[in-house]
Chain A
Amino acid sequence: MKRRRFVQKLLAAPAIPLVAAAAQEAPKPPLAPPPGNPTAQRTPQQGQAAPRLDTVAADVACEPDRSYFTPEQFAALEKLGDILVPPLKGRPGARDAHAPEFLDFLLSVSPADRQGLYRHGLNGLNAEAKKKFHRLFSELDSQEADEILRPLFVARPWDQDYPADPVKKFVAQVHEDLRSATMNSREWAESLAGDRQRGRGFGRGAAYYWKPIDPVVRS
């Protein structure tokens, strides 16, 4: 604060004496550009004059770049998606919803402790698969994967209460995240709405989103 006040003081102090400044003062630009000025910005008075066009989300049209997990970690995450959140009852599974790719992005921007939980957890699953079956977790069949996963699941009557064991905690977290990433996906919403229409048609599952309200812009 003090520093900022100091800077403000500097700015407030005129660099040249006021009288001289007045003499040098350039003529003020006119408030509005003169009519017919070819460089003046022109914009319609009425907002409705500009039509709203349909756009699509980037991941409808484009492949995300994966950047965060190693190929082995990512393969384990995809495998977890297949096992924990498979397609059921006409709803997409984690892989259909591109949940692993989304989590790859989410984890790339997550705090260090969450990143550590994931990396340690995925590496732990791979290590356990190698120890038990001499293969990567992604290469196990569902029975083998179940043998590793089942003992890692615990009931959690209190949502905030994660197991202390880091691999069990990871399994609880990744299960929750894969479910949410799947159920929040476009594919899921479309399966609910029963129509594959894109764009601005709001089916079920939409909610009010608050945009930044009168945000402060600081350079």
Chain B
Amino acid sequence: MPIKEYDVLIVGSGHSGGMAANRLTASGISCLMLNAGPEADYEKDRTLKHAYELPYRGFKQPGRLPHVFQANEFNANQWVDEKEVPYTHPEDAPYNWVRVRLLGGRSLFWARQSFRLSDFEFKAADIDGTGENWPISLADLAPFYSRVEEIFRVTGRKEGWPQFPDGNFVETTFPPDTETIKKFTEVATKRGIGVSKWRNALGQNGLASSINLLLPDALETGKLDIVENAIVREISVDKNTGLASGAHFVDRHSLREMHVKAKVVVLAAGTLESTRLLLNSKLANSSGVMGRYLVDQMYGVSVVASVPEARDGKARPGLMGGSAFIPRFRNLTKDDKRNFIKGYCVSIGSGGGASPNLFPLYGAELQAKLDSYEGSCVSGGIFGERVARFENHVRINKDVKDAYGIPVLHIEARDTDNERNLRRDAADTIEGLFKEAGWEIVGKTDEVNPPGYSIHEVGTCRMGNDPKKSVLNKWCQSHDIKNLFVVDGASFVTAGWQNPTMTILALSMRASEYLAEQIKQRNI
């Protein structure tokens, strides 16, 4: 007999699971949270070291984490080990799946860029003439975004641009723009391209995680229990009612098999792990679209220019330094005719040096070049929207199992001409702006990292009003099983060019409060 019975089982402890626990326990609902990995101890598990003190001199262990380009020898232990929990992809279509199983998930390490989606994304089908709209609009989510922004203390400059909805920002004073940022802004504005500032979550004490902003309050209610090292392998179903009844999980250390009962199951395992769990449980897929419409953003396209008057040691603080941010500016009106749909944002940084890879030189000659360019460079890169396509999908690969005997995911995502045309436009546009500013182009590429690299994978259980075309309804609730919710990025219909976490948090908050209400009214 289990010691306790819970109203809600939450799988995952990241931003989405943390928010679910926070909102549900605030309504007096008892929750059990299962998390696949352990809790990190920032005092004991982390230590200052020089690269030369590590076994591989800062090169990570060869062959380890081949798909995690973000991994190095310092942080290798924070990511999910690809040998422990592998996945497969076609040889010609690499996919970078970047995961964290520690308590708090990826919220421990995220870069905290914080944007709202706009109706250009929620109602994308109306604008693109293809795809599906979300079943909700910005107006539905705006009150939740506001509350999330308050908890996460988001900074930003208000612009009043419909494609870049303003938020409930904490008071921020931005330092005055340097001459290069001013020049760039002037050139871009002349072309009708709006230049703004980054929007960032400050969090508290340098951490904007579920473990400091969401879970402590939930634990405080006495209504939440968290079990670490609990790897859920399958959602269980009551044969009589067809409803979810709990989950089977395995203890990471002892490999002991366990089961937990709950009246409601909330999945927050981080988009693809939630979908993997559902596919392995063979549940909630009457639509046949589960695993489909996997989408994320293209990170890359790099244009580097050097400001001539800042070269050879003449880069002064008032001239170089600072950053600028251009939210999507393509395809905002019907008469903006391009050879691609959707758009991209541009991130501009001023004041760095040039990468040695930009010059076919070596030794003293290379060093002289790097010294000359030091501090004089301005760089531009993009986050470009990919199109959510049926073909881009995940499915279970029955032939491969992880260290816990759980069948792994096969991930298949490819870019098409739309993505290639979009990034060509981006590289040419940034190059044009830099040239117009009078700067020397040092490097230009329209290449991007493989899909998944952005760590913004969303979709695969998309929401919608039509149960034949979507897995979840607008409350992140399964169309098929009413006591089953998926509150992470799996519900996304389109990805947008925006980093997804503010939207994940707002959706989880909205879904969890809806669920709390349904439980109160005994509808679930």
Contacts and interface: CB of A to CB of B under 8 A. Distances in A.
B361 interface: yes
Interface in B47-70: 47-54, 56-59, 61-63, 69
Interface string B344-360: 00000000000111111
A161 B63 CA distance: 19
Contacts of A155: 357-360, 443
A84 interface: yes
Interface in B263-316: 300, 302, 304
A89 interface: yes
A218 to B, nearest CB: 9
B99 to A, nearest CB: 14
A180 B59 CA distance: 8
A133 interface: no
A151 B367 CA distance: 19
B444 A209 contact: no
Contacts of A110: 62-63
Contact of A206 (B49, B76, B302): B49
Contacts of A172: 357
Interface string B66-103: 00010001111110000000000000000000000010
A86 B363 contact: yes
Interface in A139-182: 149-150, 153-161, 172, 175-177, 179-181
Contacts of B355: 159
Given A158-B447, A159-B357, A206 B50 contact: yes
A4 interface: yes
A211 B53 CA distance: 13
A197 to B, nearest CB: 12
Contact of B46 (A86, A156, A186, A209): A209
Contacts of B48: 202, 206-209
A70 interface: no
Interface string A174-217: 01110111001110110000000000001001111111111010
B363 A84 contact: yes
Nearest to B453: A160
A111 B64 CA distance: 10
B112 to A, nearest CB: 17
A180 B50 CA distance: 13
Contacts of A180: 57-59
Given A88-B364, A160-B449, A1 B52 contact: no
7 contacts: A57-B53, A85-B362, A157-B445, A185-B52, A202-B50, A209-B48, A209-B74
Interface of A: 1-2, 4, 57, 83-86, 88-89, 102, 106, 109-111, 114, 149-150, 153-161, 172, 175-177, 179-181, 184-186, 188-189, 202, 205-214, 216
Interface of B: 37-41, 44-54, 56-59, 61-63, 69, 73-78, 102, 229, 252-253, 255, 300, 302, 304, 355-364, 367, 401, 404-406, 443-445, 447, 449
Q: Which 6 A-B pairs have the closest CB atoms?
A: A1-B405, A157-B443, A214-B38, A184-B51, A153-B360, A110-B62
Given A157-B302, A209-B54, A211-B46, 20 more contacts: A102-B57, A109-B62, A155-B360, A157-B444, A160-B449, A177-B59, A181-B57, A184-B58, A185-B57, A188-B52, A207-B49, A207-B51, A208-B47, A209-B47, A209-B48, A210-B40, A210-B45, A210-B76, A212-B77, A213-B38
